[in-house]
Amino acid sequence: MNINNKSYCVLNENSGIEEKPYEKCLMLGAKTLSDAQLLAVILRTGTNGVNATELAGKIIGMASKNCEESLLGITHLSVPELMSIKGVGQVKAIQIQCICELSRRMAKQRAAEKLDFSSPSSIADYYMEDLRHLDKEQLVLVMLDSRCCFIRDCVISVGTVNASLVNSREVFAEALKYNAVSIVLLHNHPSGDSTPSRNDILVTAKIKDAGEIVGINLIDHIIIGDNMYTSLKEKEYF
């Protein structure tokens, strides 16, 4: 970061720059901005009697009610929820959602650079941003070829991952359709706790047994929590 003495002098002489996040970013760099100031730059304007930084603070305050880590909570806010804050219209709400989605894609792209399907941590990193913020459980099927290379993935079920509800035939119909040799299962826990439940273990056993019959190997079943994961293979549940 390139900051010269003149920049510091201007900052000291005009403390009001703290209320002007755009100018502060231009002068001192984005790293010097608080969370609220960064969001304020995106919002650009406030509303009557409330500047952009104060408005950003209200958004972060609402987000913190849904998530201890308030910035992550922003990803859970819907457009109507954002618009319920005075000063946030449809345009600002969509801007915020687009920034969250851009951040998610950037994180996923970084994870893709080191994706290794023999490594549970690598798989978890790649799917973390897709699954960690979801409000409902999703069971994802990842299909691999004979060299353990990615073929494709798809969502098998949405809702509670229950052994009585997950259809093994549907899982392997997809796998056989794309000539998969091995598969990986992932699903999220909206609670943020990646500890496997009894149902998770039953689902894994059911899919593993069915895979042995049709000749498709279940490599792992990974549960995604809030920035954490559990590999049922590593925990020796199968």
Sequence spans of domains, the chain: 5-108, 114-231
Amino acid occupying residue 102: L
For residue range 116-160, what is the model confidence (pLDDT) as tens digits?
Answer: 999 999 999 999 988 988 889 999 999 999 999 899 999 998 887
Residue 8 is predicted with a pLDDT of 40
pTM, to two decimals: 0.65
Q: How far apart are CA 221 and CA 96, in angstroms?
A: 33
Q: How far apart are CA 131 and CA 124, in angstroms?
A: 10
* Parts of the chain with a pLDDT under 70: 1-19, 66-70, 161-165
Domain 114-231 - what CATH class?
alpha beta
Residue 156 is predicted with a pLDDT of 92
Question: HSE of 131 in the Cβ direction (CA atoms, 13 Å)?
Answer: 32
Question: HSE of 48 in the Cβ direction (CA atoms, 13 Å)?
Answer: 1
Q: How far apart are CA 114 and CA 97, in angstroms?
A: 27
Give 235: exposed, middle or buried? Use CB within 10 Å, 0-12, 13-18, 19+. Answer: middle
Residue 103 is predicted with a pLDDT of 87
